[in-house]
């Protein structure tokens, strides 16, 4: 196995490789002439050069089934390079032009310009993030509640506040259109103060992801109840109308399906 890895690195050093750094503002390609001499810290420096406003602590690459593998050390870096070289060798044998090695930086963003497609996002989002009451280290995740294109929602417990939360975790390597939706959702939650709208507690960046913390609705979704008494449906309808009326007073239009 060691001989195979050494042979792989020798082949890479002969031809060099291209590393593609995936950032929220676009892909950045970086050529590496001698991959066997590349260290974890060298690659971190290269990433920080293209993402100066983010504190990068690690990065990820995708394996053959699309799972993300985190790299935090020289040993894990060598394993990544060996894996990539094996793929390149197979692709060349099959007459396929190899793609650059794609890596996904992980870190804490100190600035909100990751929402690059929005002209007013920086000031608004900065205001929202700096007004938060919750930090990532104070949260214990308990179970996954749902998953979609915009992110994953978890049931979590806030240790300091001693309360259950719903936390929506959204990766930042998403389309500008989804970024706009997230920004709109944050702005609405931040503005709202009504017993008929879920309570917004906080939002924060951790490792290239944004987390939105809101009130946990322990009753779940209405579709889990087979039959709902008429008097209960009446109360639900009144609460929905009052919530929509409140949103309309803030000039927020709800277009639910």
Binding-site residues for ATP sit at: 168
Number of Cβ within a 10 Å radius of residue 48: 15
Q: What is the residue whose two structure tokens read 């060598």?
A: 78
**Binding site membership: which residues?**
168
């Amino acid at each position: 196995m060691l001989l195979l890895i050494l042979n792989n690195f020798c082949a890479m050093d002969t031809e060099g490789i291209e590393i593609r750094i995936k950032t929220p503002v676009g892909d950045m390609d970086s050529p590496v002439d001698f991959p066997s001499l590349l260290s974890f810290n060298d690659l971190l420096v290269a990433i920080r050069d293209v993402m100066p406003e983010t504190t990068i602590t690690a990065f990820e690459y995708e394996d053959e089934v699309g799972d993300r593998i985190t790299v935090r050390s020289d040993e894990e870096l060598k394993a990544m390079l060996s894996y990539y070289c094996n793929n390149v060798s197979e692709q060349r044998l099959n007459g396929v032009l190899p793609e650059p090695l794609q890596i996904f930086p992980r870190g804490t963003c100190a600035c909100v310009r990751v929402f690059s497609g929005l002209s007013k996002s920086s000031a608004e989002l900065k205001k929202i993030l700096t007004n938060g009451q919750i930090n990532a280290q104070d949260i214990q995740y308990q179970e996954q509640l749902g998953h979609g294109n915009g992110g994953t929602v978890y049931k979590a417990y806030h240790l300091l506040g001693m309360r259950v939360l719903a936390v929506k975790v959204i990766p930042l390597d998403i389309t500008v259109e989804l970024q706009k939706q997230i920004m709109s959702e944050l702005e609405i939650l931040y503005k709202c103060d009504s017993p008929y709208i879920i309570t917004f507690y906080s939002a924060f960046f951790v490792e290239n992801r944004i987390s939105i913390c809101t009130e946990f609705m322990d009753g779940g979704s209405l579709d889990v109840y087979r039959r709902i008494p008429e008097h209960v449906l009446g109360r639900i309808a009144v609460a929905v109308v009052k919530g929509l009326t409140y949103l309309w007073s803030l000039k927020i239009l709800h277009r639910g399906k």
